[in-house]
Structure 1
Amino acid sequence: MIKKLCLVLFAVLAFNVHSQEGTSSPYSFYGIGSLKFKGTVENRSMGGLSIYTDSIHMNFRNPASYGGMPLKSFNNEGRAVKYTVGGSHSEISLKGDSSSEKASTTTFDYLALSVPMGKFGMGFGLLPYTSVGYKLQSLNDEDLLAHRYRGEGGLNKVFLGIGYQVTKDLSVGVDAHYNFGNIQNTSVEFVYDNEGNLLQYQSREQNRSDLSGLNFNFGVTYTPMISDKLQLTSGLTYSPAADLTSNNERIFSTIVTNFTTGQEFAANEIVVDLNALGLHRTNLTLPSRTAFGLGIGQPRKWFVGAEYTALKTSEFSNSVVEVDNTTFEDASTISIGGFYIPQYSSFNNYWKRVVYRAGMRFENTGLEVNNEAINEFGISFGVGLPVGRWFSNANFGFEVGKRGTTKANLVQENFINFQLSLSLNDRWFEKRKFN
């Protein structure tokens, strides 16, 4: 099996990433891929801040946001049904000690719906959780191609949640997530004769894991007014650790490679009996997650806050694909951000109703490679543009940042993320004014 992925002598083949591949990061090799889910475009434009909730945007990082009171603007008859859909495009520059490459990805990020039911509210949707997408190669001591690695796939979530407003200021909620997907990793070893000539046949190892499992997320929001104009906002979410079932298969092949097209032709294949090794069906731990945030602002005018997230990635292990030079430590993220609205009720100046957002985040991913922590940093900006009726809007986000390091023969990623979402509001049930 793959024992060591060496990012030393990084020499990525030039490649284009298809839209269904959610990442082109070499660090997506580890674990179950790079974490894809960081919230809605509105959240990500504020540095990933997810404690703020309102009546016109979904916040599916905290299920307590689904509950609420009837709106005065709707004659106290109820709340809006909320729809949201989002996607993103990323441009990534990968830099090693002696080479660099560029890659890009365009992905669907989420589709969700929230339905009010009195003080209760229900939310459900679909989103990718992790993504795997890399093509790497390493060289031997003679600067000849030694290994080629590639991977694709990831984990997706279908979620269903319910929230309830206990008091005017306090709401609670819970949602269930069904996780599913597959991860495919391939490694090709190139062998040479004593004169440095590549042999006709190479060895290939293919691993596939089909993942599924259920986990839960609990949330609380508390939003009291502390003066006539200022509101305190706090939020807490907790997701207990959960098991994912992994059905695995492994194939060893002798192949011939066409270096012009990159195609690989198998001369023979051996399907490994993983049942005999006790690896056909294994369990992976989806780490527990705790997030707490606090902020202050004037409703429908401005808001600023901070959030701390702890992810117990040290609980993770994968007995199918072992990597010797890698460890998982507990991960953490600090997010700081907010928004500003010049005048939300302006009827004669469109730009005064626009929401302006900004934030930053500092993330310790929990991954250590060659004894180096893989950290991530991002600065984000965004706008919410009013469209249509019932406070619907289009949200645009922009983030620049970096991940990783060039120390210890590793790779640093510099990325630019562009995000777009539609947050639409409608009314399904409305009392008739005239008979």
Structure 2
Amino acid sequence: MIKRLVVIAITIFSSCSFAQQGTTSPYSFYGIGSLKFKGTVENRSMGGIGVYLDSIHVNLRNPASYVGKNVDAYPFDGESRPVKFTVAGTMSDVNLKSNSSEVKTNSSTFDYLALSVPLGKFGFGFGLLPYTSVGYKLEDINDDGDLTYRYTGEGGTNRVFAGFGYQINKNLGIGVDVNYNFGSVENSALALEYTPEGELVQYQTRENTRSDLSGLNLNIGLAYKAMVTDKLELSATATYAPQSELTSNNERSYSTVIFDQFSNSEIVRNTLEDNLESQGLEQTKVIIPSRMSFGAGIGRPKKWFVGAEYTYRNTSEFSNPIFNNQISSYENSSQFALGGFYIPNYDAFSGYFKRVVYRAGVNFANTGLVVKDESINEFGISFGLGLPIGERSLFSNANVGFEFGQRGTTNQNLIQENFINFNVSLSLNSRWFQKRKYN
């Protein structure tokens, strides 16, 4: 089984890495890029909630899940609860709309690779996932239809995490993730000059900036589960990530370029490095705001569940000294998510679709970004399926999800994004520590 996991992981990771373009959002121009969703396809298909914890799925939103709640949960009867492995990728189609034009773009990205190992009352988890993503190309056109400015950016930050969970008692678990964030962001701004007759001058100026980012942060989680009636189970979760910092090692240069209007290409003639050390900007600190979330839900085990989650980020504290502009600022952000699932008959002997997990959800968010005094909000609705695969006793599954949403506004000549995301993942289980019944 492990060999199969490794082969599958390498195949999916290689495919996604080859086609990797984490975002095409113009809003990734700001800060250190667009914040990526931290959670599995199962979470995303339920509006993004991380309230539901079980013994057969990795939950990236709450480290208390690593213990594999519950210790004595059926179908594993207190022994050899499965080691859980998961990997995923996303393909996105985005329609970018302004007051004057409309364009369609697409991207594909690797989402996560994670492993969770429960050991008695303890549990461990580790993995890799994107944290932020930058990918934009913005152009300013004057009244004569000529290009005056071009802004491009690429890169982002990734996150390697290792976590620990502990089951305090039958109903309550606690956990903590230690995250190492790393990556780089590259931005360029090309300014074009014209003669009074409207002819492009021979040489143009381009500013180039690169920031290499790294730093640690924590995510602490609590999870509570208890039967409130003979058939209904209550779930409640809370997570908290304290404010942290990323170290940013910065470079800035200015290039003289020749711009070819026919091919839209840029030929660099010479480059001058900026002395950031004299400005105190060679190494800076990027503040990552604190975040907290609370969720609760109720359901019938192995049948249905519905839950809600509220997330708050102290985004107004975000700062990035190397990259400031006059049109954007940050306010505290929040998100509300509602979702759940339904399983017709999880252990049906016949009828494959009786064992399929049907998921749906919705979420509303204020991203915390303010551009030209307009708050950038986001809305999404999602659907998904959990398709059983492999040995019936291990409850492995392939997950597919669809997400339809909108981000931003056309007010103040800004850009509204209408997106469709297609998510796919494998959630695979294996028994590593099964006790022998006979010698």
TM-score of the two chains, using structure 1 as the length reference: 0.95
- Matched with 1:55 is 55
- Matched with 1:273 is 275
The one-letter code matched in structure 1 to 2:396 is S
Report matched runs for 1:207-246 at 5 Å.
207-246=209-248
Secondary structure, aligned partner of 1:50: coil
Q: Distance in 1 between matches of 2:281 and 2:74?
A: 58
Q: Is the 1:210–1:246 contact (alpha carbons within 8 Å) kept by the matching residues of 2?
A: yes
The one-letter code matched in structure 2 to 1:326 is S
Secondary structure, aligned partner of 2:286: strand
Structure 1 residue 30: Cα displacement? 0.5
Q: Distance in 2 between matches of 1:40 and 1:86?
A: 8
Structure 1 residue 70: Cα displacement? 4.0
Q: Is the 1:37–1:127 contact (alpha carbons within 8 Å) kept by the matching residues of 2?
A: no
- Matched with 1:416 is 420
Q: Is the 1:254–1:266 contact (alpha carbons within 8 Å) kept by the matching residues of 2?
A: yes
Structure 2 regions of 5+ residues with no counterpart?
A: 1-16
Q: Is the 1:22–1:105 contact (alpha carbons within 8 Å) kept by the matching residues of 2?
A: yes
Structure 1 residue 116: Cα displacement? 1.2
1:156-184 CA distance string (max 9 Å, x none): 10000010111111000001000000000
Structure 1 residue 139: Cα displacement? 1.5
Secondary structure, aligned partner of 2:60: coil
- Matched with 2:10 is none
The one-letter code matched in structure 2 to 1:54 is D
Structure 1 residue 262: Cα displacement? 3.4
* Correspondence for 2:255 among 248, 253, 259: 253
The one-letter code matched in structure 2 to 1:37 is F
**Please, which moves more after superposition, 261-270 or 224-233?**
261-270
Q: Is the 2:80–2:432 contact (alpha carbons within 8 Å) kept by the matching residues of 1?
A: no
- Matched with 1:66 is 66
The one-letter code matched in structure 2 to 1:431 is K
Secondary structure, aligned partner of 2:31: coil
- Matched with 1:143 is 145
Report matched runs for 1:375-394 at 5 Å.
375-389=377-391, 390-394=394-398
Q: Distance in 2 between matches of 1:361 and 1:308?
A: 10
- Matched with 2:28 is 28
The one-letter code matched in structure 2 to 1:51 is V
Structure 1 residue 72: Cα displacement? 4.1
Structure 1 regions of 5+ residues with no counterpart?
A: 1-16
2:434 matched to 1:430? yes
- Matched with 2:290 is 288
2:114 matched to 1:121? no
**Please, which moves more after superposition, 114-123 or 257-266?**
257-266
Secondary structure, aligned partner of 1:74: coil
Secondary structure, aligned partner of 1:168: coil
Secondary structure, aligned partner of 2:235: strand
Structure 1 residue 75: Cα displacement? 4.5
The one-letter code matched in structure 2 to 1:34 is S
2:405 matched to 1:401? yes
- Matched with 2:304 is 302
Structure 1 residue 330: Cα displacement? 0.5
Q: Distance in 2 between matches of 1:433 and 1:47?
A: 43
Q: Distance in 2 between matches of 1:434 and 1:283?
A: 59
Q: Distance in 2 between matches of 1:102 and 1:73?
A: 47
Q: Distance in 2 between matches of 1:136 and 1:265?
A: 19
The one-letter code matched in structure 1 to 2:373 is N
Count of matched residue pairs = 419
